[in-house]
Amino acid sequence: MNSHSASAMKIFFRNIHLYLSLVAGLVIAVVCFTGAVLVFEKELEQQFHPKRYRVTPPAADAPRLSVEQMVAAVQAQAGPKANIAGVKIYADPTRTAEISLAGGGPGEKGGKEGREGGKEGRMGRGEGGGQQRAGQAGPGGERGGRGEGQGQKGGKGEKGKGGGGEGGRGPQYFVNPYTGAVVGPYVYRDSFFFTMMALHRGMVGGPVGKLIVGVSTLMFLFIIVTGIVLWWPASNKILKQRLTVKWDASFKRLNHDLHIVLGFYSALFLFIFAFTGLAWSFEWFNNGIFAVTNSDPKGPEAPKSEVVVSGQKLGFDQAYTVARQQVPDALSYAISLPKDSTEALRVMTTSADAAYEGATDELYLDQYTGRPLGKLAFEDRNLGQRVRRTFKPVHTGAIYGTPSKILALIVCVLGVTFPVTGVIMWLNRLKKEKKKLAKKQVATAAA
């Protein structure tokens, strides 16, 4: 390729990079900022509200209350008509028990966000309960759900706030397993982090807002790729310049280096975060995951309970006892009640050697007899389901714990700066071109 062609190609990519950035830059900055806030959501929530999540055992071997007693304590506060949807019990003696009410229960306002959450559940974004129903609050986990579902009807479940999606999940109560003291209700939709998440995903603007964020994310992928093309050095001397920030340079040069150099170092991570983020914006993207992996979004059919017309249903205590017998070393047991007379009672468990927080297993129990009907280990899910479930921890940086979260936080903060430094570079270039044009006009006039 001759120098003229190379120059024309560079101008072409620069124009793509520039105009896409001008169109999507503000949205990208907001998404990166809110993403940075959400990286340590679980840790910050537990730090700011320690009584909600932690207790001090009265003794090393202090007995815990039964699950039914903890449920009764919640019903005493929420009202006897409170519709208990799920319970989560931790093996950690310092953790509170989490009891979730079905969407629409006391303290739940429902509304537009709830309907949106249910829709997303049907798109396969309910990472908590896998096959949880939209609109039902599952027992979830520490961070409830921003969806790594299997493409069934799962709503959000990761935080234990279950199936109704970010807005549709019911209120949650936290119970001291030794004293029965109740903290709650906690409604995720009313929290600061829900606001950040709604901004992050464009939910504040409804379907149009989500589409804007999705399209901007697609543009961001092209911005990153064209940025790498523009960064690519023509010689080793230029390579050294583009790998090092000259901190003692002028503001113009420093701004240039902050955009070019730091942009290069963060490009791969930003691309991964943006790519995985598409799963929350477009149904076709989720469908594509299962098409590419040649997998069924629904996975194997869950076993059914034996229908007993007048039989008494399994209680939480019995389900918890059977689950501990079947999976004795689990870190947590999230019990989700069946929605009809034939469905199995589900217990979602997290093993100590789980690859990441969302890599959960499911145990199915007959809702009348408590008889184990089968298990679905995470590694037994099909390839598409396992790939889809990795998107959440990769997207949030939680895949390798605290170190990868710190990296995600840094990269997101840098992502906020790039639209700013990029605009400054563009304005400097316009000023430079304006000066050149003025000099040319002066020279022409003098001639």
- Do 317 and 346 sit in the same domain of this protein? yes
Residue 178: predicted pLDDT: 94
Residue 197: predicted pLDDT: 95
* Identity of the amino acid at 339: K
H or E stretch at 265: helix 251-277
- Do 310 and 384 sit in the same domain of this protein? yes
Residue 435: predicted pLDDT: 84
| Inside any domain, residue 44 | no
Which phi and psi angles does 146 have, rounded to 5°? -115, 45
- Do 80 and 187 sit in the same domain of this protein? yes
| Inside any domain, residue 161 | yes
Within 13 Å and on the Cβ side, how many CA atoms surround 167? 20
- Do 81 and 147 sit in the same domain of this protein? yes
Bridge partners of 361, per DSSP, are 349
- Do 158 and 303 sit in the same domain of this protein? yes
- Take residue 241 and report the two structure tokens written for it: 């310049």
Give tens-digit pLDDT for 419-447: 999 999 999 988 888 888 888 877 777 76
Residue 3: predicted pLDDT: 63
Q: Is the pTM of this model over 0.75?
A: yes
Residues of the chain scoring pLDDT < 50: 105-167
Q: How many domains does the chain have?
A: 2
- Do 113 and 4 sit in the same domain of this protein? no
- Do 344 and 434 sit in the same domain of this protein? no
CB of 163 within 8 A of CB of 137? yes
Residue 114: predicted pLDDT: 43
| Inside any domain, residue 245 | yes
- Take residue 172 and report the two structure tokens written for it: 């949650």
Q: What's the domain range around 409?
A: 1-39+202-276+405-447
Question: Which long-range CB contacts under 8 A does 26-31 form with residues at least 24 apart?
Answer: 26/419, 27/212, 27/213, 27/216, 28/216, 28/219, 28/220, 28/223, 28/415, 28/418, 28/419, 29/415, 29/416, 29/419, 29/420, 30/199, 30/200, 31/200, 31/213, 31/216, 31/217, 31/277, 31/415
DSSP 8-state assignment for residue 314: P
- Do 161 and 213 sit in the same domain of this protein? no
| Inside any domain, residue 233 | yes
- Do 333 and 193 sit in the same domain of this protein? yes
Listed residues 360, 378, 396: the one ending a domain: 396
Give tens-digit pLDDT for 186-228: 999 999 999 999 999 999 889 999 999 999 999 999 999 999 9
- Do 320 and 190 sit in the same domain of this protein? yes
| Inside any domain, residue 184 | yes
| Inside any domain, residue 45 | no
CB of 175 within 8 A of CB of 182? yes
| Inside any domain, residue 69 | yes
Residue 339: predicted pLDDT: 86
- Do 103 and 68 sit in the same domain of this protein? yes
* Identity of the amino acid at 76: A
| Inside any domain, residue 350 | yes
- Report the candidate in 37, 47, 49, 409 with the shortest Cα–Cα distance to residue 197: 37
- Report the candidate in 109, 185, 118 with the shortest Cα–Cα distance to residue 152: 118
- Do 376 and 313 sit in the same domain of this protein? yes
Cα–Cα distance for residue pair 46/44, rounded to 1 Å: 5
